Amino acid sequence: MANARHEKERRCKLCCDIIYDLCLVAALVSFGLLIGYAAFAGDNGPCTLSARNSPANEALRLETVKFDGDIGTTNAYKGPLGKDLDDAWTQLYEVNPFLVTTEELEKIGKTSAIVPSRPGSHLVKLAVFHQLHCLDMIRKNVHDDYYQMDDSRASVSLVDHVDHCIDMLRQSIMCTSDTTMITFSGDPLLETAEPDFNTEKVCVDFGNIHQWAKSHEFNMLDEVVRHPAAYADLLAHGAGMKRREMRESGSSSATR
């Protein structure tokens, strides 16, 4: 009996050791993937310097995502036009800029707008939110009969704005160059061969990035209201502080 109990305890301990080792390996692999992604995107990728030094990198997490590539299906961002669809899109990129220090900007060899009420602080925003704004602008332009977009009061024409957005997305897509293999179903010699876009990808967790950006956002309009003296000269001379521009910087439109 004693030998049987001892053997049972030995096997139990062995199983626990194996489980522990597997968990450790899984954790190390996950960590390695994250570090590998950061190294590729940061040190070796084509769009490197600014991303490598972004404070938002602390929010980088990876997740496996099954892409919805079917034509004719609907989801929160694809389907009947209306308020629900518009709200879903807008919430993706309605994020105010955040503040960085002069030292952080020096790391990327750039300058940015100074916040007069906060010496040494500058406004910046994450590129992902501008890209999503651009995609939404193109989406609305495709459905112009519904949205009837008016550029009469805009500083840039609608055509130029959409062209800018298309080319920004082109550059971003080419920069990341997704190498996921897309398979085909059907006879490759016939027109029935169909690509299968429902692929699995290891992606940056956008929700985590979005949450980080929301927790760090800075409302410029509120800052001017709280510290009007610091902005008196700018307001008097209209140097980049027109009412419309303030609204855009202080609201979600700042991501555009």
- Specify if 7 maps to a domain: no
Average pLDDT, the chain: 80
**β-strand partners of 75:** 78
- Specify if 39 maps to a domain: no
**β-strand partners of 65:** 201
Q: Which domain holds residue 168?
A: 55-216
- Specify if 141 maps to a domain: yes
Residue 196 has pLDDT above 70, yes or no: yes
- Specify if 127 maps to a domain: yes
In this prediction, residue 9 has a pLDDT band, given cuts at 50, 70 and 90, of low
**Given this model, what pLDDT does residue 14 score?**
47
**Given this model, what pLDDT does residue 256 score?**
39
Q: Quick one: DSSP state of residue 181?
A: P
**Given this model, what pLDDT does residue 157 score?**
94
- Specify if 8 maps to a domain: no
207-217 burial string, b = 16+ CB within 10 Å, else e?
ebbbebbeebb
Q: What pLDDT, in 10s, does the model give residues 164-195?
A: 999 999 999 999 999 999 999 877 777 778 89
Please give the structure tokens belonging to residue 238: 């209209």
- Specify if 113 maps to a domain: yes
- Specify if 244 maps to a domain: no
Q: Quick one: DSSP state of residue 252?
A: G
CA gap 39, 32 in Å, rounded: 10
- Total tally of structural domains belonging to the chain: 1
Please give the structure tokens belonging to residue 141: 């332009």
CA gap 33, 56 in Å, rounded: 18
CA gap 65, 75 in Å, rounded: 15
